[in-house]
Structures are given as structure tokens and as C-alpha cells.
Amino acid sequence: GAGVSQSPSNKVTEKGKDVELRCDPISGHTALYWYRQSLGQGLEFLIYFQGNSAPDKSGLPSDRFSAERTGGSVSTLTIQRTQQEDSAVYLCASRFRAGIADNEQFFGPGTRLTVL
Amino acid sequence: KNEVEQSPQNLTAQEGEFITINCSYSVGISALHWLQQHPGGGIVSLFMLSSGKKKHGRLIATINIQEKHSSLHITASHPRDSAVYICAARFGNEKLTFGTGTRLTIIP
């Protein structure tokens, strides 16, 4: 498809388990972003990747959260030892290239994570 | 501190009414986004602008750099416009700071 895709669309897990969320950006987009939308809260930035540069991890809420981007394309957000407060919709977005004013971010459909 | 404020939080209007949603930000930005989120749905980017005005169909977005303010207008509103509208500002780096959203309900 032409858009950003994410999998799974829904994930239910038990507290303490690890989860992996996947994002496939639009082909050719070098910038990739992860955001989180908790219930009743606004969207918050987590991490972004631009090409081969070191990612900006400043939005990650704790060291239980990590993300990788392999080959400059697919990204995986990993949450270790999940807690109930991690329950949220995790959104991925991609952009042709960071640092250029006039190109937009395209958002994926999100992964709804529920930690029981 | 980089902040984005939206108003109103909730807006209910009759079909056909002209809608305005406002967004103010605290310091200079490199770009401002307007996003739309339908219930249970993903997020769609409506506009990205750094100056002036953009129009797409019945949607118009404006930004006033001096006043640090942007507006999203919907003309001839329709029930299918019912959604949450979110403004997001890029404060010179790549991170977006999001407003809390405006929940719009258009009644037939």
C-alpha cells in the first residue's frame, strides 16, 4: 500500500510482559516518528529517526521503551515489562525528509495497546 | 516552554454552520499542522503551514506568525466533519507538540 502501516492493530498483554509494535513507513521516507496517545490525553512525541543519524529519544518516558529502525525502513517500538499506564494508542508517522519545512508527516492507523 | 493551546475543547453546531477552531502557541515555530482524528480511526494530516493560508475543499487553515495563532475553518459543515481536530506545532526541531484537540460534532 501507499500509506504508513502498523501492526498489530490491537494488542492485549499482561502486566510485566514485553511487547513489540511495528511500523512500515511510506517507501522512500527517511524520517520516522513514534507518538503515543493515552486515554483522555493528548498526543505526545516519543522518538524520531532521520536516515542514519542517531535517533532523538528525548520523548521516551522510561528506559523500558526502546525503538530500532532497520535498514532505514521498518521500525520496531519495544516496551519491556509493560505497566498498565503504558496502555495507549501508539502512532507512527513518516515524512520524506526531516529538516525540510514543506513536507508533511503521514500517520499510520496506530496500534491500540492494552495492558491488563 | 513550548506550548500549544486549542479552543474550544468541544464544539457542537448545526449542519451548514461555519466552524472555527483556534490554536495558539507560545514561541516561534517552523511549521504548524492541523490533524483530523475520527472516532476509532487513525489520524489524517489536513494541513501543514508556516505562513499565510491554505485551502482544501471546504477546509481553510490560516496562520498569523506575529500573533502566534492559527485557525482552522470549515465552511458549510456536514455531519461527516464530526471528528477531533488537533493542532500540532514544530518548534524548530523535529518534534511535534500537540494541542489537546477540539471535539467537533455536527448535528444534521
Chain A residue with CA closest to B46: the answer is: A104
C-alpha span between A98 and B75 (Å, rounded): 33
Structure confidence at residue B78 as a pLDDT band (50, 70, 90): very high
CA A77 to chain centre: 6
For residue A59, give the C-alpha cell: 520523548
| Contact A14/B at CB under 8 A | no
Residues B15, B42, B63, B99: what is their CA dihedral angle, to the nearest 10 degrees?
100
| Contact A25/B at CB under 8 A | no
For residue B36, give the C-alpha cell: 483530523
Nearest to B50 among A101, A106, A110 (CB): A101
The answer to whether A69 and A55 are in contact (CB under 8 A) is yes
Structure confidence at residue B38 as a pLDDT band (50, 70, 90): confident
Average pLDDT, chain B: 92
Confidence at residue A2, expressed as pLDDT on a 0 to 100 scale: 75
User: Which positions in chain A touch B42 (Cβ < 8 Å)?
Assistant: 91, 107-110
Measured CA distances, A18 to A13, A36, A77, A80, B40 (Å): 8, 17, 11, 4, 25
Nearest to B48 among A33, A45, A104 (CB): A104
Q: Is the confidence at residue A97, as pLDDT, over 80?
A: no
Cβ of A110 within 8 Å of Cβ of B86? The answer is no
Cβ of A43 within 8 Å of Cβ of B45? The answer is no
C-alpha span between A23 and A71 (Å, rounded): 13
Confidence at residue B58, expressed as pLDDT on a 0 to 100 scale: 97
Q: Bridge-partner residues for B86, per DSSP?
A: B35
C-alpha span between B17 and B68 (Å, rounded): 26
- What pLDDT digit, counting tens, does each position of A77-92 carry? 999 999 999 999 999 9
Chain B residue with CA closest to A41: the answer is: B100
User: Which positions in chain B touch A91 (Cβ < 8 Å)?
Assistant: 42-43
Q: Are strands B102-107 and B10-14 parallel, antiparallel or unpaired?
A: parallel
- What pLDDT digit, counting tens, does each position of B14-31 carry? 999 999 999 999 888 888
Q: Are strands B43-49 and B96-98 parallel, antiparallel or unpaired?
A: unpaired
Cβ of B94 within 8 Å of Cβ of A109? The answer is no
Answer left, alpha or beta for residue A96, where phi above 0 means left and psi between -120 and 50 means alpha.
alpha
The answer to whether B104 and B19 are in contact (CB under 8 A) is yes
Cβ of A107 within 8 Å of Cβ of B44? The answer is yes
Judged by DSSP in three states, A67 sits in strand
The answer to whether A112 and A89 are in contact (CB under 8 A) is yes
User: Which positions in chain A touch B43 (Cβ < 8 Å)?
Assistant: 91, 107, 110
- Which amino acid makes up residue A16? G
CA distance B74 to chain A (A): 21
User: Which positions in chain B touch A103 (Cβ < 8 Å)?
Assistant: 48
